[in-house]
Amino acid sequence: MNYTEFQNIFSPKPNQPIIGSIYATGTSVAFLGTLYTSISKISPNLFPPLSFSLELALGFLCFVLVVLLVFLIRNLLAQAGERVPQCQFRYKDGVLLNGNEPNIALRIVTFHEMLESMAEAIASNETGKQSAFLKNGRNAGRRFGKDFKQNIYSLLNKANKPFDQLTEAEILKQWTDYDSATGWGKISAEKKGIDWCITAKHLALFAEDREGGKWFSYIMAGYAESVVNEILAECNDLEYEFSGRITMKGKKGLISFFLKPKVNS
């Protein structure tokens, strides 16, 4: 057995932390047992004779199982992500509750149809429709931004780091990670010079064959503008505004837009 083979025995399998741990434990015990037996045959007097009672063997087995159970629980909690305190859905008297917060669930096709019907009723021209959906998103984002920094962050804060001690990038990472678990898509925020580039990816929600995805992208732009201004209010004196343009890549289910510092006239 060469060094690489020996090292592989004690290494968990990639992307399988629990299975890898069990595998490593089993193969390690087997290897050590084989090693002990082989050396004992060559040099019988090298090791003292071993005698195991049934109670000792069962005790050792229980110890191994407890260790594996602890690793399993830690792994499951880690996989649950930052929204563990919020992912407690239950149904009561016709209300879908996420923790204690009332929620609703809609099929995306239904959501698209609602937005498309609203767009027809809101205005006859494209600019009017865009402005209405932006305003809708801004109003929602303003309320959420306040709730996030005052209440929600404290539920997610594992490192006990006060909100006012986070950097701009850390604050936006907390927000995008949180909202990425809502079903709106995988959201990210990246600093580009003095601007923030916001992206969201969802193959069904931003599909190119539905107008509803386009209108929702304007809701998202207004929402992101208000959220960013609320949660970064203590970090700097800047006020950000939506640049006015959304890039949509329907085949990839991807939208992106910029939030730029507002220029006071």
Rounded CA-CA distance 249/122 in Å is: 25
SS3 track for 41-52: HHCCCCCCCCCC
- Main-chain dihedrals φ then ψ at residue 258, nearest 5 degrees: -110, 145
Rounded CA-CA distance 24/54 in Å is: 24
Convert the pLDDT of each residue in 215-229 to its tens digit: 999 999 999 999 999
Is the confidence at residue 233, as pLDDT, over 80? yes
Is the confidence at residue 23, as pLDDT, over 50? no
pLDDT of residue 51: 53
Map residue 100 onto helix, strand or coil. Answer: coil
CB count within 10 Å of CB 139 equals: 13
- Main-chain dihedrals φ then ψ at residue 97, nearest 5 degrees: -110, 135
What is the chain's mean pLDDT, rounded? Answer: 77
Instruction: Of 1-10, 14-23, 125-134, give the range with the top mean pLDDT.
Output: 125-134
Q: Which residues 6+ apart lie within 8 Å of 170 measured at CB?
A: none
* Dmax (CA) of the chain: 95
* Structural domains of the chain, ranges and CATH numbers in brackets: 3-80 (no CATH), 97-261 (3.30.1380.20)
Convert the pLDDT of each residue in 73-84 to its tens digit: 665 555 444 444
Q: Which of 161-170, 183-192, 245-254 has the lowest mean pLDDT?
A: 161-170
Q: Write down how long the chain is.
A: 265
Residue 11 amino acid letter: S
Convert the pLDDT of each residue in 135-180 to its tens digit: 999 999 999 999 988 887 777 665 567 877 888 999 999 899 989 9
Rounded CA-CA distance 225/190 in Å is: 14
HSE, side-chain direction, 13 A CA sphere, residue 226: 20
Helix axes 126-147, 108-122, angle to 10 degrees: 120
Is the confidence at residue 200, as pLDDT, over 60? yes
Convert the pLDDT of each residue in 86-110 to its tens digit: 456 788 888 888 777 788 888 999 9
- pTM for the model stands at 0.65
pLDDT of residue 214: 93
Rounded CA-CA distance 57/85 in Å is: 40
pLDDT of residue 80: 45
Of 213, 224, 259, give the one whose Cα is nearest residue 238: 259
Convert the pLDDT of each residue in 33-54 to its tens digit: 555 556 556 666 655 555 555 5
Sheet bearing 240-249, strands edge to edge: 186-192, 195-201, 254-261, 240-249
Is the confidence at residue 126, as pLDDT, over 70? yes
Rounded CA-CA distance 259/265 in Å is: 18
